[in-house]
Amino acid sequence: MASLSESCRTASTMFSFTGQTKRCSWILCLFVLMCLTSVQVAAKPDSLTDVTDGNWEQILTGEWMIEFYAPWCPACQQLQPVWKEFADWGEDMGINIAKVDVTEQPGLSGRFIITSLPTIYHCKDGVFRKYQGARTKEDFLSFVDEQKWKAVEPVSSWFGPSSILMNSMSALFKLSMFIRRCHNYMTEQLGIPVWGSYVIFGLVTLFSGLALGLLLVFIADFVFPSRRFSSPDYYQKKQTMEQARLMKQQDDAHEADGEEDDDEEDEEEDGDQDEVWRRRRGSPEGRPEPKGQGFPDEALRKRVVCSREEEEDT
């Protein structure tokens, strides 16, 4: 009986140990499963890349699908779940899936000329094509897997995001966003009225333009000096021309004085002739006629001229 009881105790001990082992194994399996699930959940957000002004150049290498969206856009809000599901397939298909918030990245909005939301671009080794198909996960997968993007005309190099023109557009969009933030700060934080903010921006624009224009003039004169002023004979030629101009003025003044002298001589001759005519005009006895009884001077002059012409004809 004693041996039987001992064997029963041993068997019960073994069964209890086995149950504890099974229980521990179940707990261990559950723990491992939870760890794997948490790792997968944590890895999903990494499959969707956030592109910013600081890292946008990474999309120039490899194959990418980029979505431009805004949080306030209803169509963008509807597309977000589909875009996240599509991003989960990116690693299997060897493609990078990215998104750009245009409200936070105005420079990229100008660089890609985003005029409607959402806008989707496909990029393959720096060549961009605009996606125009349906916005479902299956359509996105077929567009990449079947290489339907080859049938889409690529964006011209003039309007590519890395071109000089698009760099200028990006800077312009950044400047506009900076001005908007300054306006909001002055009107909301400092309490400046809206018209006061506009006056401040107008004055800043005016003085900035004047300063920039003056700087450009100085740079142009320094880099491209005038050949006329840089010539060693310039001042000598200028002095010679000035002397010639003064001499010409003196000659003109002498000619004018000579013409005035001629006019005065003519007037003196006319005065002498008038005096002769006055002497000839008188009574038959040789006495001058009283005032008011003779012919006018002009009539007498005509008579004398006519008499001279008759004498010449005879």
Active site residues: 73, 76
Burial class (CB in 10 A: 0-12, 13-18, 19+), 314: exposed
CA 286 to CA 282: how far, in whole Å? 6
| Alpha-carbon dihedral sign for residues 207, 213, 219, 225 | negative
Strand 119-124, strand 63-69: pairing = antiparallel
Strands across the sheet containing 48-50: 48-50, 96-101, 63-69, 119-124, 127-130
Q: What are the C-alpha distances in Å from 208 to residues 164, 200, 201, 202, 212?
A: 24, 12, 10, 10, 6
